[in-house]
Amino acid sequence: MFRAFENLVDPFAPAHQAPPRANLRAYLAQQLGPYRKWLPLMFATGVLTALMESGLIFYSGRVVDLMAETGAGAFWDAHGTEMLLALFCVLVVRPSLVGLNHLLLEQTLSSNLQEQVRWQAHRHLLGQSAGFFQNDFAGRLSNRVMQMGPAVQDSVHMLFEAVLFAVTYMIGAVVVLSQIDWRLA
């Protein structure tokens, strides 16, 4: 199962020998080029996962309100179907969505992006003249090649994991609070 997601992008695929871009945004766009087909799916599963997580917080409040309205004795009769649907979402939909999101982020993006960045940096160094290496320490260059992969991977992974979740939670909090009173939002 992991291999299928790991093989969606080949980090060692031959690419044109364009020099690395000068600014960060252009460089990241250049490195994410092979993932162009999978990035929208990663974004969608990330948003849906964050919505599911924030929805669980909202829905637990709804369950408490429903219990207060109907009482313990009549609760299951009045809301049994809804509770079974919620149980299905919590036990089946949520783990499937979280699993797909992590498979895409961890196996497709993270495991391949780091090696791809290193490989392309290594290939770029192979095309340099002997004078290029005489003007700089070889150990420092190899250290930069090794550090670029994790740096790019961490940046992109945190964008999908932390920033996407934070923005979705903030929007969800504004929506929930606006339902109580627009001034709270």
Residue 17: pLDDT over 70: no
Chain centroid to Cα 94, Å, comes to: 16
Burial of 45 (0-12, 13-18, 19+ CB in 10 A): buried
Average pLDDT of the segment spanning 58-79: 89
With contact defined as beta carbons under 8 Å apart, do 35 and 9 qualify? Answer: yes
26 in any annotated domain: no
99 in any annotated domain: yes
Q: Among 8-17, 30-39, 84-93, 165-174, where is mean pLDDT lowest?
A: 8-17
80 in any annotated domain: yes
59 in any annotated domain: yes
Residues 6+ apart with CB under 8 A from 129: none
**Predicted structure pTM score:** 0.82
* Residue whose token pair is 């250290």: 143
Residue 16: pLDDT over 70: no
185 in any annotated domain: no
- Number of folded domains that form the chain: 1
pLDDT-based confidence at residue 90 (cuts at 50, 70, 90):
very high
DSSP annotation string for 71-125: HHHHHHHHHHHHHHHHHHIIIIIHHHHHHHHHIIIIIIIIHHHHHHHHHHHHHHH
pLDDT at 107: 92
Maximal C-alpha separation, the chain? 84
- The whole domain housing 96 covers 37-128+135-179
Q: What digits encode the pLDDT tens for the residues 98-148? A: 999 999 999 999 889 999 999 888 888 887 777 777 766 767 878 888 898
**The tokens of 15 are what?**
């690419």
165 in any annotated domain: yes
Beta strands (DSSP E) in the chain are none
11 in any annotated domain: no
Range picked from 35-44, 131-140, 170-179 for highest mean pLDDT: 35-44
19 in any annotated domain: no
